[in-house]
Amino acid sequence: MIMDKIIMKEMSFYGYHGVLQQERDLGQTFVVDVELGLDLRVAGESDDPEMTVSYADVYEVVRRVVTGRPCNLIEAVAERIADRLLDGFLLREVLVRVKKPGAPVPGHFGYMGVEIKRSRETMEEN
């Protein structure tokens, strides 16, 4: 089975997710990567934009989740993104990475984050 990907990296949004009240009050930047698994052969052969997924539409879904209703955990943010992408587009699977560069943890680091991979099959099982 062919599994092509559309990859969108380093989408940056300001949101109010976190366990700490300070995170909920002040907010912070979240950086999201998505990999959309689907067959791109028809789109590639036909050069028809209708045969693929609109990057702008995917970006808007991610933006709405990250800037929308706060979650305690970035795990929940990632699940919301994955659910909405699988619901809204003809994808076989999606990989979502949510990064928190300003996580309130002492020490020096690039970011802390989560990565989940969900498929249409796992979505239908739940």
**Whether the predicted pLDDT of 122 surpasses 80:** no
Any catalytic annotation for residue 117? no
Helix/strand/coil (H, E, C) string of the chain?
CCCEEEEEEEEEEEECCCCCHHHHHHCEEEEEEEEEEECCHHHHHHCCHHHCCCHHHHHHHHHHHHHCCCCCCHHHHHHHHHHHHHHHCCCCEEEEEEEECCCCCCCCCCCEEEEEEEEHHHHHHC
pLDDT band at 125 (very low <50, low <70, confident <90, very high): low
Q: Work out the pLDDT band at 1, boundaries 50, 70, 90.
A: low
Q: What angle do helix axes 74-88 and 55-67 make, rounded to 10 degrees?
A: 150
Annotated catalytic residue: which of 9, 99, 100, 117? 100
Q: What domains appear along the chain, each with residue ranges and CATH number?
A: 4-125 (3.30.1130.10)
H-run or E-run covering 122: helix 120-125
pLDDT at 114: 98
Q: Is the pLDDT of residue 27 over 80?
A: yes
